[in-house]
Structure 1
């Protein structure tokens, strides 16, 4: 075999492995979200994500435009989710005191408890999934994932 043939074969194998990793990660996250949705059936996954994002702006609130950008959806879609969350008394629309033309979205006190429960349930579901790994395997996984993405997840580096 030639060097070029070996490189093509290695590249093909890496591409297949990358695809398998992505599929496994997608299914893992899907199963965790499904578990959380089962314990919080009153919130759709996009609504849950929306209140998480809003919670990161709890002091000042956040605009619909910024929510749309962070969620990669249209402002109209965000407005629909917001309306549903207002109906559930989880968020409010407030006029920005610094700019009376601007509306900020903020959490209500019941939403704070909801977020804590969602975080706990998400973590517990993930912990159950990772229960298939022993502590040493978990350390290896953390090390491997850190090589791919050395920065912890923040609002700025989420897709």
Structure 2
């Protein structure tokens, strides 16, 4: 499906713009009882397997103590696990649980459904033009 591919490309570009310009609450995360910051941490751990608190703090530009609090809550919910580094007992590595992986898949599905529904407002020509313009903006904003 060409239309579906175009919508996926637009979604990817919109994520780049969002990441570089501002942060918006993920409504799909709310549906699954996850806050925006919790969702950001889960996605960061998903993309950076085995990451630790300090790395997450740098990646998300928040304090290590804030990351620790968020991680504590996610561990309590059964969404993250902590593992000690065998070489450095002070260092920990974070991993998603199977439940967290499943939630992330569900969030991505819900997000895709919402995006597809939003783009139903455009006909194929308008969608193609929007994709072109969105890509141009994303390249300008991200420098890629």
Q: TM-score under structure 1 normalisation?
A: 0.67
Distance apart, 1:38 and its partner CA: 4.3
The whole-number CA distance in structure 2 between the counterparts of 1:100 and 1:128 is 48
Displacement of 1:39: 2.2
**Which of 107, 130, 137 is matched with 2:96 structurally?**
107
Q: Does 1:141 align with 2:130?
A: yes
Offset, 1:98: 4.7
Larger Rg computed on CA atoms: 1
2:44 to 53, 59, 68: 53
- Give the superposed CA RMSD: 2.7
- Structure 2 unmatched runs, 5+: 1-17
Q: Hey, what does 1:80 align to over in structure 2?
A: 69
Give CA-to-partner distance per residue, 1:54-108, whole Å, 9 cap, x none.
11123xx101111111211111111111011001100011112354331111111
The total of aligned residue pairs comes to 123
- After TM superposition, where is structure 1 displaced by more than 6 Å over at least 4 residues in a row? none
Cα distance in 2 for partners of 1:136, 1:96 equals: 53
Distance 1:108 1:137, change over 3 A: same
SS of alignment partner, residue 91 of structure 2: strand
